Structure 1
Amino acid sequence: MSRQRTATAFAHAALALGMCAASGAWAQAVPGSSVTIYGLMDACVTSADLGTDRINGLNSGCLYGSRLGFRGTEDLGGGLRASFTLESGLTIDNGMLGQGGRMFGRKSLVSLSGGWGAVELGRDYAPAFYVVQPIDPMALGIGTASSTIWTGAASTTAARNDNAMNLLSPTWGGLTIRLQVAAGERGNNGSRNAQGVNMLYRSGKTIAGLSHTRVANATNSDHDRATTVGASHDFGAFSLAAIVQSGAWEGSRTAAAPSSATSIFSRSYRSYLIGGSVRAGDVGKVNASLKRYDDRTARDFDATQFSVNYVYSLSRRTDLYAGYSRLRNERASSYSVSDATTAYSGVTPGASTSLIATGIKHVF
C-alpha cells in the first residue's frame, strides 16, 4: 500500500472515530436515545467419545455461545430510528475472543428503520439462520441442527456473513421478509459473494419459515445453494418442530460429502430434523431432536443423530443444563457431534460419536 493510500486510510479511520465520539456525546443529551450493555456467559464440562479416543474438558458455550454486546438506538422523529449492534464472542474458559479473534465477531451492524422496514449494514447472520435457530428444539446448542442443516453463510463453521446488506420488510400479520446481499472482497481470506432470502411467520405460539441461499465460490464461477423450510408450534405442555433442507455444494469445493465436521454438505443432499420440547415441572424443560443427513452422491455418506437436553431454570437469568448427543456415521463418513461453539472432530471413519455435557448459563 502506498504512503498516500495509507494516510488516506488513517484519515478515514480518524474521521470515523471522531464521528462515533461525537454521536456518543449527542446520545447522552438527546431524549429518545439509549445504549444497552448485555451479555451471556455459558461454561460447561464435556466428555466426547470419538470412537477410538475420548476428550474431556471445560469448554465455553455448550448451550449458547458466550458474548458481550452493545446496542443503541436514536429516535430521529417521524417514525425514523437509527440503531447499532456490536457483539463480541467470548471463550469463557480462557477469556479470549471468539470467532477467530474478531473484536465484534458475532455481530456488527448499523441500521436505519421506519414504518417501511429497515436497512442494516455490517456483519450479520445469514437469512437461513433466522429460520433454523428459533425452530431447532436444541436452539443450536448440544446436538445443534447446524451440524447437518446449513445456516447459509459463506463458511460452514460460522453462521454469519461479512459485508452484508440486509433489507427487512415491515411485519404483515406476523410475516416478515429478509433479503441479504453480501459482497466478497479480493484477498479477504476467501470471502465470497452470498445472497439469501427468508420469509418468517410468527403468530402466538407458531413459527414457520422458508429460506433460500446461494454462495459463490472464490472465482464466482459456481455456487452452493440450499432451500430450507421449517415450522414449530408450542401446545403449552409440549412443542413440536420439523425442518427439511435440500441443497447442493458446487463442484470445485467437494465431489462428495467430506469426512469433516466443518463441511458436511455434499454435491447433493437432503437433511431432515424432527423434535420438540416437554415441560418438566414449573422450572424445567426437556428438549430433543432426531436428525437424518442423506448424502445423495454415489458415496452415500449418511448420518443419523439423536440429541436430548434438560434445562433447569434457577431464575429468569440463570439456568443449569445437561445434555447428550449421539451421531451414528454410516459407511466411511466421520462427521462429528457438535454443541453451540465446538465440533468434536477426529472421529474414526464409520464410527459412532457422542457428547455428554453439563453446564451453567447466565444472562445479563
Structure 2
Amino acid sequence: MTRQASALTTLALAALTTLGALPAAAQNSPGTSVTVYGLIDGCLASADLGSERLNAVSSGCLYGSRLGFRGTEDLGGGLQAAFTLESGITIDNGQLAQGGRMFGRKALVSLSGPWGTVEAGRDYAPAFYLVQPIDPMALGIGTASSSLWTGAASTTSARNDNAVNYLSPTWGGVSLRLQATAGEGGSGGARKSQGLNLLYRSGGTLAGLSYARVGDVADDQHDSAFTLGVKQELGRFSVAALAQSGAWEASRTVAAPASTSSVFSRKYRSWLVGGSVRTGSVGKLSLSIKRYDDRTVRNFDFTQVSVNYVHALSKRTDLYAGWSRLGNNSRTSYTVSDATGAYGPVQAGASTSLLAAGIKHVF
C-alpha cells in the first residue's frame, strides 16, 4: 500500500467513525439531526460503438451510486447550520467515483436564515439545478448533459471545487441561486467560475434560466452559456424543453474550434424536447430528442433519441431499462452516455447506441 493510499484509508476510517458517533450525540442536543442516506444503482449495458460492441456490468446507468451524510443544527433566532458529505461509488468494482475523491459528489457546509442560505465547498454548478429536473432522462441513459453543458469547469463532473453559493428564499415561486469559485492562484490548473439560475416553481410548472462562465487558468478567456428550460406536468403526462447557446473560448482555440469526439465547440447551440407518461400506478415511460448544432465552420453536429422505462417495485426500489441512439455526421465520433460515463471510443461517422437495464435502490 502506498503512503497516499494509507493516508486516505486512515482518513476514511476517522471520518466514518466520527460520523457514526454523531447520531448518538444528536439525540442529546435538541434541534440537531444527522442522516445517513444512499442510492445503489447497478446495471447491464451493451453499447454499439460502430466498429465493435461493448458489453459491461456498470454502476449507475440511471443514477450515480452514492453514500451520504447530512446534518442540521438549529441555532435559534431563525438560524440553522448544516452540512452534506456525499461519496460517489462504482459498485461494479467497489471503488470511489469522481477520480477517487472521498466526498467527490458533494462536500458543503452552510448557514441559513430568513435571508437565505450561504454554502461553501464542492457543489454542482447552478445550471445543473435547471437541466437535471427538466431532462426527461434525469441525466440518466441518454443524458441531456451529452449536448447541454451543466456549467462546471469539466464537461463530465457537473461540479465545481472552491465554491461559495447563495440560495435565496422563495418569493411567489421564484428562487435565485448564485455561485462563484476561486481559482486559488491557478497553481493546479484551477479555473475561476461564476454561475446563476433563476427558477420558477408553481404546481406542475418548472421554468427557469441559467448562466455559466468559466475562465481559463489565467482568467483571460472564458467558456460561457445561457440555458432556458421549462417542464409542465399535465396529469399523467409531462412535457419538457431545454435550449442552450454557448461559446467555449477558454477551452477551444481558433485553429481547433471543436473536436470530433468532445462536445462543446468555440460556438454552439443545443436543444432538447421530450416528455414522460405514467403507465398505470407503478410505471413511467420517458422520451427525449436532442440536437447539438456546432456553429463553427467544421459543423460537428449530432442528433440523439433516448427512451427509458422505470418500474417501481416499492417506494425505494425500481427496475429500469433504457435505449439511446446518437447519430454522428461523417466526421464526428461523439459517444453516448448514461448517468456515470460515456461509452467509447466510437468510429468516426458511425451511429452509436446504448441499451441498458438495471435496478436502483435508495436508503
| 2:296 counterpart SS class | coil
CA–CA distance in structure 1, aligned partners of residues 284 and 354 of structure 2 = 19
Match of 2:257 in 1: 256
| Aligned-pair Cα RMSD in Å | 1.7
Taking structure 1 as the reference length, the TM-score comes to 0.92
CA–CA distance in structure 2, aligned partners of residues 331 and 170 of structure 1 = 49
CA–CA distance in structure 2, aligned partners of residues 107 and 176 of structure 1 = 21
- Given that residues 234 and 240 in structure 1 are in contact (C-alpha distance below 8 angstroms), is that contact kept between their aligned partners in structure 2? yes
- Given that residues 301 and 331 in structure 1 are in contact (C-alpha distance below 8 angstroms), is that contact kept between their aligned partners in structure 2? no
Please show how residues 33-44 of structure 1 align to structure 2 within 5 Å: 33-44=32-43
Residue 115 in 1 paired to residue 114 in 2?
A: yes
Match of 2:293 in 1: 294
Please show how residues 1-364 of structure 1 align to structure 2 within 5 Å: 24=22, 27-186=26-185, 189-250=188-249, 253-254=252-253, 255-260=256-261, 263-364=262-363
CA–CA distance in structure 1, aligned partners of residues 96 and 338 of structure 2 = 18
| 2:184 counterpart SS class | coil
Residue 256 of structure 1, CA deviation: 2.3
User: 1:74-119 deviations in whole A, cap 9, x for unaligned?
Assistant: 0001110000000000001111000000000000000000111000
CA–CA distance in structure 2, aligned partners of residues 136 and 223 of structure 1 = 26
CA–CA distance in structure 2, aligned partners of residues 316 and 122 of structure 1 = 31
Residue 278 of structure 1, CA deviation: 0.8
- Given that residues 237 and 275 in structure 2 are in contact (C-alpha distance below 8 angstroms), is that contact kept between their aligned partners in structure 1? yes
Is the alpha carbon distance of 1:216 and 1:281 closer, same or farther for their aligned partners in structure 2, counting shifts above 3 Å?
same
1:50 maps to amino acid:
L
| 1:324 counterpart SS class | strand
CA–CA distance in structure 2, aligned partners of residues 40 and 156 of structure 1 = 23
- Given that residues 223 and 251 in structure 2 are in contact (C-alpha distance below 8 angstroms), is that contact kept between their aligned partners in structure 1? no
Which range moves more in the overlay, 233-242 or 183-192? 183-192
CA–CA distance in structure 1, aligned partners of residues 147 and 283 of structure 2 = 27
Residue 188 of structure 1, CA deviation: 5.7
CA–CA distance in structure 1, aligned partners of residues 187 and 129 of structure 2 = 25
CA–CA distance in structure 2, aligned partners of residues 252 and 143 of structure 1 = 24
Residue 49 of structure 1, CA deviation: 0.4
1:151 maps to amino acid:
T
Residue identity (%):
69
Residue 158 of structure 1, CA deviation: 0.7
CA–CA distance in structure 2, aligned partners of residues 104 and 251 of structure 1 = 28
Residue 187 of structure 1, CA deviation: 5.7
| 1:209 counterpart SS class | strand
Is the alpha carbon distance of 1:343 and 1:88 closer, same or farther for their aligned partners in structure 2, counting shifts above 3 Å?
same
Residue 26 of structure 1, CA deviation: 5.7
Residue 173 of structure 1, CA deviation: 1.0
Residue 174 of structure 1, CA deviation: 1.1
Which range moves more in the overlay, 213-222 or 81-90? 213-222
CA–CA distance in structure 1, aligned partners of residues 236 and 161 of structure 2 = 40
CA–CA distance in structure 1, aligned partners of residues 159 and 32 of structure 2 = 28
- Given that residues 186 and 217 in structure 2 are in contact (C-alpha distance below 8 angstroms), is that contact kept between their aligned partners in structure 1? no
Match of 1:3 in 2: none
Residue 186 of structure 1, CA deviation: 3.9
1:314 maps to amino acid:
L
User: 1:267-291 deviations in whole A, cap 9, x for unaligned?
Assistant: 1000000000011111001011000
Match of 2:7 in 1: none
Could you tell me which runs of 5 or more consecutive residues in structure 2 were left unpaired when the two chains were aligned. Answer: 1-10
Residue 251 of structure 1, CA deviation: 5.4
Is the alpha carbon distance of 1:131 and 1:84 closer, same or farther for their aligned partners in structure 2, counting shifts above 3 Å?
same
